[in-house]
Structure 1
Amino acid sequence: MGKRILVAFDGTDQSVDALEYAAAEWPDAELTLLYVIDPAEAGLSAGRGVPSGAEEWYERTKASAEATLADGAALVDREVGTATEVGKPSEAIVEYAGGGDVDLVVIGSHGRRGISRMVLGSVAEEVVRASPVPVTVVR
């Protein structure tokens, strides 16, 4: 069985770089693109109920995620799997990677430094710290 690689993919330049790197570096690996829908983007939080319009927001966001994943899959000249999860991005990526079907996570990094990194956090850094499998960060 070949290597199974999870690529965190949200359509940003950094995630495109990560996908292209993974495809080039491991040409025989099985690639899965993962898009994480973050409810915090809609102002949703656990335990507060579903605000008006949340279902519509989710459906629009899920459709957008599927389109983004299709665009990503079209960037590489081979078949790739896709998946969508809901949650905090770093936690969802780590949880998916821990499911047993992933040998490596490849993720792009914005390369923020200083105060912007402290304020905004770093999904890539959180994944590196918590992942049960090796992680390659592409800059």
Structure 2
Amino acid sequence: MGKRILVPVDGSTQSREAWEFAAREHPEAEFVLLHVIDPTEAGYSAGASFPAASEEWYQHAKDDAEELLTELEAQSGTSAVVGTDTVVGKPSRAIVEYAEEHDIDRIVMGSHGRSGVSRILLGSVAENVVRNATIPVTVAR
């Protein structure tokens, strides 16, 4: 079996370009497109503290993830095996753990390019993955 490559996707231009890059550069690989639902995106508004609102937010996030993964899988332009998965958690940690638990050989991901206060407060998902992954990581810009 060939390489298994994990491509985290979030719908951003950068993640779409990373997927295109991975498919183009590794045509014989088996791919897994991964979407991470970050529960902190639900926010800390009053509505998010009610169980019904949280469940509604989660269901919406899950539906969006499924739609995105279906779209990207269909547009792959590759004959390679493409699997999809969705997990919940802090994105950088979830990506690294997924790679470790699913026999992934390489991660190819986009750089969000955060800057300023946003990067200081939130950090860079790509940077954290590069620092913590035990396998090669390619960050496509």
TM-score w.r.t. structure 2 length?
0.88
Q: Shift in Å at residue 37 of structure 1?
A: 0.3
Which residue in 2 is equivalent to 1:16?
Answer: 16
Do the aligned partners of 1:5 and 1:105 also contact (CA within 8 Å) in 2? yes
2:23 maps to amino acid: A
Q: Shift in Å at residue 75 of structure 1?
A: 2.0
Higher helix fraction: Structure 1 or Structure 2?
2
1:70 maps to amino acid: T
Shift in alpha-carbon separation, 1:6–1:50, aligned structure 2, 3 A: farther
2:68 maps to amino acid: T
In structure 2, runs of 5+ residues without a counterpart are none
Structure 1 ranges of 4+ moved more than 4 A: 113-116
Do the aligned partners of 1:11 and 1:72 also contact (CA within 8 Å) in 2? no
CA distance in 2, matches of 1:138, 1:33: 15
TM-score w.r.t. structure 1 length?
0.89
CA distance in 2, matches of 1:9, 1:61: 13
What are the residue-to-residue correspondences of 1:1-139 with 2, within 5 Å?
A: 1-43=1-43, 51-77=51-77, 78=79, 79-139=81-141
Q: Once the two structures are superposed, what CA deviation does each residue of 1:34-87 show, in whole Å capped at 9, x if it has no partner?
A: 00000001137xxxx863411111111101100011111122123410000000
1:122 maps to amino acid: S
Matched position secondary structure for 1:53: helix
CA distance in 2, matches of 1:123, 1:69: 19
CA distance in 1, matches of 2:115, 2:140: 15
Q: Shift in Å at residue 100 of structure 1?
A: 4.1
